[in-house]
Amino acid sequence: MSLRLRFRRFLGARVRSWRRYLNEVAIVGPGDDYAREFYYFGAGAALMAPQGVIYNERYLSIGDDTLIGPNVCLTAGVSGDQVMLATPTVSIGRHCIIGRGSHIIGHWSIELGDEIQTGPYVYITDQNHSYEAIDQPVGWQSPSEVAVKIGSGSWLGANVVVLPGTTLGRNTTVAAGAIVRGTFPDFVVLGGVPAKVLKHYEPGEGWVAGPG
C-alpha cells in the first residue's frame, strides 16, 4: 500500500471521527441556551445535528420527547424578524419523530398532534403560490395560506408532500411519495397523486379497501 493511500485512509478516519463528535456536541436539547429562543422546547426534545434552516424560533413549538432529525428545516414566515399572526405558527406535539431532510414551513398555522412519525424528506406547508393574474409572474403574486392539521398517531412516508388546507385524522398512514390536500377521517391509508383513501377501518370488519 502506498504512503499516500495510507495517509488518505488515516486522515479520512480522523475526519469521520471528528464529524461524529461534532454532530453529537451540536445536538440541541432543552437545557441549551438556544432552546430558550423557541416558543416551547419540551423536556426530552432534541434537534439532531447538523440542523437545517431554522428561524423565527419564538413561533415554533416542539413537544416533550420529540426528535427532530438531521437537516430538518423548521421555519415560521420568510425571515427571522417577521412578526407572525399566530403564536405558535408551527406546533409539533409530544413523542414525535421528524425524519431527516424534512421541511415544515409555516406561515399561518401548522399543527402536528402527538406521536406522529415521518420518513425522510417530507414537506409540510400552509402556504401556496397564487396564479390568478395571468400578466404577472407566479412567484410575484400574493401567496395564500390555509391551516394544516395532522392527527395524532399518524405516519407519513418518505417524500410525502402535505399542501395547505389539509386536515388528517388520527392514525392516518400516508404512502411514500403521496401529495396530500383535503380533509380525511381517522384510521385511513392514503396514497397517490393526488392522495386518495386506499383503505379505511370498519369496526368489526377491520381494514377494508377504498373509502368508507
Number of domains in the chain: 1
Tens of pLDDT along 143-162? 899 999 999 999 999 999 99
Interior/surface letters 176-194, b for 16+ CB within 10 angstroms, e for the rest: ebbbbbeebbebbbbbeee
Return phi, psi of residue 58, to 5°: -65, -10
CA 13 to each of CA 6, 19, 24, 57, 154: distance values in angstroms, whole numbers, following the listed order: 11, 10, 17, 36, 39
Could you tell me if residue 18 is inside a domain? no
Contact criterion met (CB below 8 Å) for 167 and 149: yes
Cell 380525511 locates to 184
Could you tell me if residue 6 is inside a domain? no
Could you tell me if residue 89 is inside a domain? yes
Rounded to the nearest 5 degrees, what angle is found at the Cα of 196, between the Cα atoms of 199 and 152?
70
Could you tell me if residue 42 is inside a domain? yes
The pLDDT value given to residue 50: 96
Is the pTM above the cut of 0.85? yes
- Catalytic residue chosen out of the listed positions 95, 103, 107, 129: 129
Tens of pLDDT along 8-58? 898 889 989 998 988 899 999 999 999 999 999 999 999 999 999 999 999
The pLDDT value given to residue 142: 87
DSSP helix/strand/coil, 100: coil
Across the chain, mean pLDDT equals 95
Query: Which structural domain range is residue 79 located in?
Result: 27-209
The pLDDT value given to residue 10: 84
| Distance from C-alpha of 136 to C-alpha of 133, rounded to nearest angstrom | 6
The pLDDT value given to residue 212: 72
Tens of pLDDT along 80-115? 899 999 899 999 999 999 999 999 999 999 999 999
Tens of pLDDT along 48-62? 999 999 999 999 999
The pLDDT value given to residue 116: 98
Of residues 139 and 194, more confidence is placed in: 194
Could you tell me if residue 20 is inside a domain? no
What's the CATH code of the domain at 41?
2.160.10.10
66 class by beta-carbon count within 10 Å (0-12 exposed, 13-18 middle, 19+ buried): buried
Residues β-bridged to residue 73: 103
Could you tell me if residue 157 is inside a domain? yes
Q: Is 129 assigned a catalytic role?
A: yes
Residues β-bridged to residue 189: 173, 199
| Distance from C-alpha of 168 to C-alpha of 186, rounded to nearest angstrom | 7
The pLDDT value given to residue 187: 96
Could you tell me if residue 3 is inside a domain? no
Could you tell me if residue 8 is inside a domain? no
The pLDDT value given to residue 6: 85
